[in-house]
Amino acid sequence: MNITLKDGSVKAYDEPKTVLEIARDISEGLARVACAGSVNGERVDLRTTISADCELSILTADDELGLATIRHTASHVLAQALKRLYPNIQLAIGPSVSDGFYYDVDSETPILEEDLEKIEAEMKKIVKEDYKIERFELPRDEAIKFFEDQNEPYKVQLIKDLPEGEDISFYKQGDFTDLCAGPHIMSTKGVKAFKLMKLAGAYWRGDSKNKMLTRIYGTAFAKKADLDNYLYVLEEAKKRDHRKIGKEMKLFMFSDMGPGFPFFLPNGMILRNELMGYWRKVHRENGYQEIETPVLLNQELWVTSGHWAHYQENMYTSMIDEQMFCVKPMNCPGSILVYQNQPRSYRELPLRLAEVGLVHRHEASGALHGLMRVRAFHQDDAHEFITMDQVSEEVQNIVRLITSFYDKFEFKYHIELSTQPEDHMGSDEDWEKATNGLKDALESMNLPYEINEGDGAFYGPKIDFHLEDCLGRTWQCGTCQLDFQLPLNFDLHYIGQDGAEHRPVMIHRVVFGSVERFIGILIENYAGKFPTWLSPVQARILPISDKFMDYAKEVEAKLKDAGVRAEIDERSEKIGFKIREARLERIPYMLVVGAKEAESGTVSVRSRFEGDEGAKNLDDFIKDITKEISERIRREDKINEEEGK
C-alpha cells in the first residue's frame, strides 16, 4: 500500500501499519509528539490500522485537531477523577471545545468552585498513573446493558439514539470506561498541562425541558509553558476588559431601559469623533463621497434586496400609515436608492459612496457583550458602483486603504476569502466570476489568504480581515464584498461609452466594521492607554496648591488655544494623589505647576510613557504635543524607535 504524506512524499508498505508505526518510521521525534492522525481528511487514533492506499497527516499539538485530541482525553481524565471522588455521579457528555474541554454531569452532591482544586489533584494522580488508553467495541444490546449495570442513564440514552446495526465504541483507561467515538492519545500520561476553569449549568441535550446538569470546564495543552501563557492572556484580558476600562474612563454606559443599546458619554464621544475624523480624512483623500440614508425604510425595499427573506428574524419593524417599515440592519439598500436618484454615466464610475450609518440588529440577550455585541451600532460602510473591468484595480485600492488603517493602529492581520454559502442568491456562474475577481486582486498584490469555504454573504463572496491584538486574540473587522445580485435585483444601470445601458458591479466594504466594536477592541488592545491624539483628555494640569491656580489657568488656556484637550485638577488634594489619579485614568501628560514653574514659564512634565520628564518650557511642550497630535504619532513607537537605534 502507498501512504501519501502531508508534504507529498509517499511511503510504501507491504503490510498493514498503525498510524503510530508510520509516524515512528518517519522519525522517532515525530512519534513522541504525535497526538492523532488524519486519514483522507478524517481524524483517527494513532492506534488505527491502515491497510489501503490513503493520504495521511500526523497530527501534533501544533495542529488544532491534534490539540483537540489531548483535550478530549483530558475530559475523560476529568470524568475518571469525578467517578473516584463522587461514586454516584452520572456522566453525560465530555467533548473538546475551541479553548479546552468540558464534561456535563448529574451529581446528587453539589459540586462547587472550591471543589475544582481537589478534582484537579485527583486528575493529576490519574495522569501520573499513566494508564494505557484502549479502544474496544460492543454490540448495541451489550453496550446498553453495560451502562445500565453502571447506572449511567445518559449514556444509555446516547446509545439508543445511535443508528441501529452498528457496534458501539468504548475507551478504557485503568478502571474507567466511557462511551466514545474517539480519537484519544495513547495514555493518560500525555495530558501534561491542564487546569479546571469554571462551573456552569447546562440542560441535557441543550433543551430547557430537560434536567439541568453541572458543566465543568477545563483547558489542556501539550506543554506547561503553553498553559501558563494561556492563563496569563486570560488574566491580562480581565484587566483589559473594555467594559471595566470604559467605566473607569467614563467612555460609555448601558441601561436596563435599553439592553444592548450603548450610551456614549462625553469622553467616549471625543474618542469616537477623533476616530471618525481620521476615517473621514482618509476617505476624502481616496475619492469617497459621504452620504446619510434613513434609519427606517419601507419593507418593500428589504424584500427586493433579499434581506427580508434572509435576515428578517434579526430586523426590527414598525407600522407607519398602515405600511410595514424596517429599521435598517445594513446600509446597502439606502446607498442603492442614492445611486438610482439620477441617471449614471460610465464617467462617474467608480462611484464611491461612504456612510457611517446607525444600524439595528436583534441579538439574543445572552449574546450581548459590552460594545463587542450590541443591538445598535454605527457601520462605517462604503458602497462602490463600478464596471466589470474595474473590479481588480478597485478591490486592490480597497485592500490598500483597509490595511493602511490597521497599520496605523499597529494591528497584525490575516485575510480570508469567503466563498458561496448554501443559502445564496444568484447563479453559480455569477458566483464563480465574483470569487475569481477577488482572488485575482489578492494574488496581484501577492497577499497571502486562506479560503473560508461557504462563509460568503448571501449575495456574494467576500474578503475578510481578521485583526490580531496584543494578546494574540483575533477579531473579524474589515470586509470587501463583491455583489452582482443587488444591482440585478434593483435593475441598476449606467450609460456606457457606447451609449447603451450596462449593469454596474457593486462592492460593499467596511474598515472598522462596527465602530462600537472597533472601539472596544482598541480599548482592550491599548488597555485604555490611547495614543495622545485619541485620548479624551490629553493633558491634565496639576497645581501644587490653590496659590498657583492662576498660572494653571494660564497654562490651560494656552493649551486649549493650541487645540489640546486640557483640564485642571482643582481638588485640594496632595500632588502625589493627583498624579496617581491621572495615571489611573490613563492620561498621557500630567503637568505639575508650582512656584518655580510659574516664575520661569515652564511646566514639570510627567508622562504615561516615560514618567518624570523634567521641566519644559511651556511653548516647547505645546509644540511637541501638537506635533504628536496632528501627525497622530504613537509616542510608544517613537520611544521604541529611539531605543532601537
Contact 406, 467 (CB under 8 A): yes
- Check 379, 420, 481, 485 and give the catalytic one: 379
Strand, coil or helix: 424: coil
Determine contact, residues 463/457, Cβ cutoff 8 Å: no
Longest dimension (CA), the chain: 95
* H/E element, 217: strand 212-221
| Residue 538 CB neighbours (<10 A) | 23
Please give the backbone phi and psi of residue 579, each rounded to the nearest 5 degrees, phi first.
-65, -45
| Contact criterion met (CB below 8 Å) for 297 and 326 | yes
How many other C-beta atoms are found inside a 10 Å radius of the C-beta of residue 565? 19
184 is a catalytic site residue: no
CB 374 within 8 A of CB 262: yes
Q: Please, which residues have CB within 8 angstroms of residue 258's CB and are 6 or more apart in sequence?
A: none
Please write down the HEC assignment for all residues of 509-550: EEEEEEHHHHHHHHHHHHCCCCCCCCCCCCEEEEECCHHHHH
383 catalytic residue (yes or no): yes
Provide CB contacts within 8 A for 263, sequence distance 6+. 252, 253, 254, 255
Please state, in angstroms and rounded to a whole number, the distance separating the CA atoms of residues 31 and 28. 5
Residue 379 annotated in active site? yes
Bridge partners (DSSP) listed for residue 203: 212
Instruction: Indicate if 462 belongs to the active site.
Output: yes
How many other C-beta atoms lie within 10 A of the C-beta of residue 608?
A: 19
Query: Which member of 35, 180, 326, 332 is catalytic?
Result: 332
On whether the CB atoms of residues 411 and 444 are closer than 8 A, the answer is: no
Q: Which of 508, 517, 565, 635 is catalytic?
A: 508
Catalytic residue among 462, 517, 586, 635: 462
- Could you tell me whether strands 539-543 and 589-593 are parallel, antiparallel, or unpaired per DSSP bridges? parallel
The one catalytic residue in 283, 361, 586, 606 is 361
Counted residue by residue, the chain has a size of 645
C-alpha cell at 19: 498510524
Q: Which residues pair with 503 in a beta bridge?
A: none
332 is catalytic: yes
What is the rounded distance in angstroms from the CA atom of residue 61 to the CA atom of residue 69?
Answer: 8
Residue 227 phi/psi, 5° resolution? -65, -45
Q: Which of 383, 565, 578, 606 is catalytic?
A: 383
Is 414 among the residues known to form the active site? Answer: no
To 10 degrees, the CA torsion angle through 95, 96, 99, 104? 20
Q: Render 7-39 in DSSP notation, one character per residue.
A: TS-EEE-SS-EEHHHHHHHH-HHHHHHEEEEEE
242 is catalytic: no
Q: Which of 209, 162, 187 lies closest to 32 in space, CA to CA?
A: 187
Q: State the catalytic residues.
A: 332, 361, 379, 381, 383, 462, 508
